[in-house]
């Protein structure tokens, strides 16, 4: 029962703050709502038993990304709030996209229920200990998906180096 109360409260807060992010006209308020939503998703990951992902979620999406965005907003804010009047055509495209997506998800769930009548209800929440989760993590990163891990590290390094070079090239051009 306690779990249900926590889950519903957390879900409601995540959806409300996500909606507020889109709703706010002021970009700074929007950023603060997004930051709160990302932090709450981190709490959700913790409740699901994935502490490692929770820490990464809080560190990257909850703190690093909002700080970078905050700096970007401070450097670029032109004081003119962008008018966000959505055209009728755009609204219909949005409703169509969202409606089609929800229908597709309903179809996937119904199809899964046809394949196994119990659906995913037979699945129970993880009972693994923290040690087992960390062990599975290290096994996955350093053995099973080691090449994917190295590739992601390489991409991160390339992007960091590439952005620095671009910045340097632009500074040279400016002179």
Partner 1 sequence: MEITIYHYLALGLAVFVLGIAGSIMSKHVIKMLISIEFILTGVNINFVTFASFCDNVNFNGYIFTLFYTAIGAVEFALALYIFYLMYRSKKTENIDKYGEL
Interface with partner 1, residue 93, by CB under 8 A = yes
Contact with partner 1 (CB under 8 A) among 9, 52, 103, 165: 52
Residues 127, 133, 136, 141: is their CA dihedral positive or negative? positive
Residue with tokens 């769930």: 109
In sequence order, which residues have a C-beta less than 8 Å from that of residue 69 and are 6 or more positions away?
31
Q: Which two tokens stand for residue 76?
A: 């670029």
Contact with partner 1 (CB under 8 A) among 68, 110, 161, 165: 68
What number of H helices and E strands is found in the chain? 7, 0
Contact with partner 1 (CB under 8 A) among 74, 107, 145, 150: 145
Shortest separation between residue 164's beta carbon and partner 1, angstroms: 11
Shortest separation between residue 175's beta carbon and partner 1, angstroms: 15
Question: Interface residues for partner 1 in 73-92 (CB under 8 A)?
Answer: 73, 76-78, 80, 82-84, 86, 90-91
Interface with partner 1, residue 116, by CB under 8 A = no
In sequence order, which residues have a C-beta less than 8 Å from that of residue 8 and are 6 or more positions away?
none
Question: Interface residues for partner 1 in 2-31 (CB under 8 A)?
Answer: 3-4, 7, 11, 14-15, 18-19, 21-22, 27, 30-31
């Amino acid at each position: 029962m306690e779990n249900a109360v926590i889950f519903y409260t957390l879900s409601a807060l995540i959806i409300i703050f996500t909606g507020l992010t889109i709703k706010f006209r002021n970009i700074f308020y929007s950023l603060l709502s997004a930051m709160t939503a990302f932090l709450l998703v981190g709490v959700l990951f913790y409740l699901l038993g994935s502490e490692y992902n929770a820490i990464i979620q809080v560190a990257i999406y909850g703190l690093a990304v909002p700080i970078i965005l905050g700096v970007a907003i401070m450097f670029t804010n032109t004081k003119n709030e962008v008018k966000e009047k959505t055209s009728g055509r755009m609204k219909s495209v949005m409703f169509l996209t969202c409606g089609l997506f929800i229908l597709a998800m309903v179809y996937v769930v119904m199809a899964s229920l046809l394949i196994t009548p119990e659906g995913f209800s037979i699945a129970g929440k993880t009972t693994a200990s923290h040690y087992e989760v960390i062990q599975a993590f290290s096994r996955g990163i350093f053995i099973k998906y080691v090449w994917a891990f190295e590739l992601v590290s390489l991409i991160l390094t390339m992007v960091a180096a590439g952005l620095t070079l671009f910045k340097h090239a632009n500074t040279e051009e400016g002179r």
